[in-house]
Amino acid sequence: MMEGQINGHDYDVIVVGSGAGGAMAAYTLTKSGRKVLMLEAGRDYDPKTETPMFKSNFDAPLLGAGNSDKDFGFYDATVDGGWEVPGEPYTKGEGSEFLWWRARMLGGRTNHWGRYSLRFSEHDFKGFSRDGLGADWPFEYWDLAPWYDETEALVGICGTNTGLDDMPDSPEGVLQPPPKPRVPELLVSAAAKKLGIPTAPMHRAVLTRPKDDRQACFYATPCGRGCSIGAAFQTTTSLIPMAQATGLLTVITDAMVKEVNVDEKGKVNALTYIDKKTKQAHRLDAKVIILAASACESARILLNSKSESHPNGLANSSGHVGRNIMDSTGVSYGAHIPALEGRPKYNEDGHTANHLFIPWWGHKVQEKKAMAFPRGYHFEIGSGFRAPSSWVSGDLDGYGKPLKEIAKQAYGSYVGLALRGEMLPNDDCYMEIDEDVKDKWGIPVVKFHWKWSQHELKQVEHGLKTARQILETMGAKFDKPLPKAEDAILKGGQIIHEVGSTRMGDSPTESVTNQWGQTWDCSNLFVMDAGVFASNPHKNCTLTIMTLAMRNSTWLARQLDKGEL
């Protein structure tokens, strides 16, 4: 994609990263007439020609099962990435477990994500004010609401307005209609209702009506493989081509950013990247830089950008770069539901993820301080007549025809509830640079430190009990006690919702950026990925990353107009 000599000064803004934040920033800026250069560390990627849409697991090696090469299965859209990237290690402090997911490809993690797109609510932005823990965001829900409206309309989100206090409504006409719920989801809904817990259509970045040159979902093929028809949102079929259509976007792939450079006054004036194909370092002049490389990668770049004026790393006068990392809490609990055995077959693919889910229902109880933990969680429902894979459900016994009958009866009778909950920042969860280890590009790597606190463990304990109650109400029988929260909770980073490494705030001593993602220390350096999140509500982060990137790059464009940058 690189043509001739690139001169960074030819561009108004250099964006590092092509995922949710970077692509939305590039789209917003090019639409407002700015010339943008985008650097992506991974390879070029075209979902239109590379997505294995209708392939069956039988066509794949090992029935498509996941392994260390393809963690989420052979056909997962993530290429050249995963928990481990060859030649790009990370280390962990003693006693710490952390998994760092990276997608080294154009479009980043948007190519394979779950596409759950829930707005954060007013509770979510003011956690500290509510319970004295963590930090508030430097604005209110209502400041962000119009930007959510615009982002949802641009991206294309299906769902409905529910009136639930955990799910702020969208304006009339913004949301596209959600697909009808499936049988196991309706059964979960009925059981939850008996326990006083509401369910709702999941909001997903999946088109159920055509939009611009993207088609509506045809309810086949797993979204995690990517979507060559553009129905399931990924920046490679939407924001990036739309930004390119303005003629103002240039993309360089295989460009691994090493550091951001500053002038003698400490202001950003360039960045250095390694061209992965030639292994050569290039220095690009820059007027304004947006880091949207993913939370921990952006923080890594900042910490690796040391200079006389920024001895602790760039934009790190607060010492908060790399601190306050949060993931979502994650636990899965499920059961075989006897009443769903041998039920009538129908095509249960739908848009392949949740049609219904269980949003957090406990704000009122928490207001009265009557819950043993702060902050909420939601349940995603796993169920359905899925495409056969390398696992067969059922209490298998014997062989031959009776065995096959057991498997066929059990098909579609398993229901799993996956908890995704809010984690609070704590002093034991942070990243730093490991001075002893470099990646294959010669860049010092990240060292992670991780420990769940009692807040998360108590929340998970509550979630496990609730999941069991719901499943029992559906007729499931359990012969084992509930697992302990510390055994059941998934590892840090495993939910792939890590945020907060460059958090925003009101004060330069307590945060890395202001509310616009502009670093306190360098006015022409911005962060527009999930690093800026001041808290990590239980809701999946991508919609809010995109919304903030749209809002903040709009503000950035105005600052350029005014000559402020």
Partner 1 sequence: MSLVKRYSSKKPYLASLSRRDAIKWIGALSVTAAFPGLTACSSQALAPQSELAKGHWPQLELPVINATGYGKDPNLIIAPRASWPRTLTAAQLTFIAIFADIVAPREGSVPSASEVKVPDLLDEWVSAPYERQQQDRVSFLHLLAWLDEEARRRFDNLFVDVTASQQLAIIDDIAYKKAMQSEEFVRPAKAFADFRRLVLACFFCSPAGVKDIGYLGNVPIVGDYPGPSDEAMTHLQGVLDELGLTL
If one asks whether residue 100 binds partner 1 (CB under 8 A), the answer comes out as no
Which of residues 2, 31, 46, 63 is near partner 1 by CB under 8 A?
63
If one asks whether residue 3 binds partner 1 (CB under 8 A), the answer comes out as no
Token pair of 43 as six digits: 């390879």
Reported residue count of the chain is 565
Looking at residue 428, its amino acid is D
Stretch that binds partner 1, among 52-60, 460-468, 520-528, 545-553 (CB under 8 A): 52-60
Stretch that binds partner 1, among 3-11, 211-219, 424-432, 537-545 (CB under 8 A): 211-219
Least distance to partner 1, CB of residue 368, Å:
28
Stretch that binds partner 1, among 219-227, 275-283, 366-374, 447-455 (CB under 8 A): 219-227
CA distance 266 to 468: 56
Stretch that binds partner 1, among 25-33, 108-116, 175-183, 249-257 (CB under 8 A): 175-183
Least distance to partner 1, CB of residue 351, Å:
7
Stretch that binds partner 1, among 130-138, 180-188, 444-452, 491-499 (CB under 8 A): 180-188
State the binding string over 109-148 for partner 1 (x if CB under 8 A, else -): ----------------------------------------
Which of residues 31, 55, 306, 440 is near partner 1 by CB under 8 A?
55
CA distance 315 to 191: 50
Query: CA distances (Å), 444 to each of 7, 42, 260, 437, 559, in order?
Result: 26, 18, 14, 6, 34
State the binding string over 465-484 for partner 1 (x if CB under 8 A, else -): --------xxx---------
Stretch that binds partner 1, among 25-33, 64-72, 143-151, 501-509 (CB under 8 A): 64-72
State the binding string over 181-210 for partner 1 (x if CB under 8 A, else -): xxx--xx-xxx-xx-------------x--
Which of residues 10, 48, 56, 564 is near partner 1 by CB under 8 A?
56
CA atoms within 13 A on the CB side of 231: 23
CA distance 252 to 247: 15
Give the distance between the most distant pair of CA atoms in the chain: 78
Query: CA distances (Å), 482 to each of 173, 187, 461, in order?
Result: 44, 22, 9
If one asks whether residue 165 binds partner 1 (CB under 8 A), the answer comes out as no
Least distance to partner 1, CB of residue 114, Å:
18
Per-residue burial over 210-244, b = 16 or more CB atoms within 10 Å of its CB, e = otherwise: ebeebebbeeebbbbbbbbbbbbbbbbbbbbbbbb
CA distance 529 to 513: 12
Query: Which of 208, 261 has the CB closer to partner 1?
Result: 208
Query: Which of 62, 482 has the CB closer to partner 1?
Result: 62
By the 8 A CB rule, do 39 and 14 touch?
Answer: yes
Measured in whole angstroms, the distance separating CA 523 from the mean position of its chain's CA atoms is 27
If one asks whether residue 93 binds partner 1 (CB under 8 A), the answer comes out as no
- The H or E element containing residue 300 is helix 295-303
Query: Which of 17, 82 has the CB closer to partner 1?
Result: 82
By the 8 A CB rule, do 540 and 116 touch?
Answer: yes
If one asks whether residue 43 binds partner 1 (CB under 8 A), the answer comes out as yes
Query: Which of 141, 219 has the CB closer to partner 1?
Result: 219
Query: Which of 197, 284 has the CB closer to partner 1?
Result: 197
Footprint (CB under 8 A) of partner 1, residues 275-334: none
Query: Which of 162, 523 has the CB closer to partner 1?
Result: 162
Least distance to partner 1, CB of residue 391, Å:
6
By the 8 A CB rule, do 265 and 247 touch?
Answer: no
Query: Which of 182, 363 has the CB closer to partner 1?
Result: 182
Token pair of 64 as six digits: 């498509």
CA distance 386 to 337: 16
Footprint (CB under 8 A) of partner 1, residues 392-421: 392, 396-401, 403-404, 407-408, 411
Stretch that binds partner 1, among 22-30, 74-82, 295-303, 516-524 (CB under 8 A): 74-82
Query: Which of 67, 312 has the CB closer to partner 1?
Result: 67
Measured in whole angstroms, the distance separating CA 275 from the mean position of its chain's CA atoms is 27
- Cα dihedral 183, 189, 190, 196 in deg (nearest 10): 180
Strand partners, 290: 15, 526
Residue 423 CB coordination number (10 Å): 31
Stretch that binds partner 1, among 113-121, 238-246, 335-343, 540-548 (CB under 8 A): 335-343
Query: Which of 161, 215 has the CB closer to partner 1?
Result: 215
Footprint (CB under 8 A) of partner 1, residues 347-386: 347-351, 385-386
- Cα dihedral 16, 21, 22, 28 in deg (nearest 10): -140
If one asks whether residue 46 binds partner 1 (CB under 8 A), the answer comes out as no
If one asks whether residue 48 binds partner 1 (CB under 8 A), the answer comes out as no
Which of residues 74, 116, 273, 377 is near partner 1 by CB under 8 A?
74
Per-residue burial over 269-289, b = 16 or more CB atoms within 10 Å of its CB, e = otherwise: bbbbbbbbeeeeebebebbbb
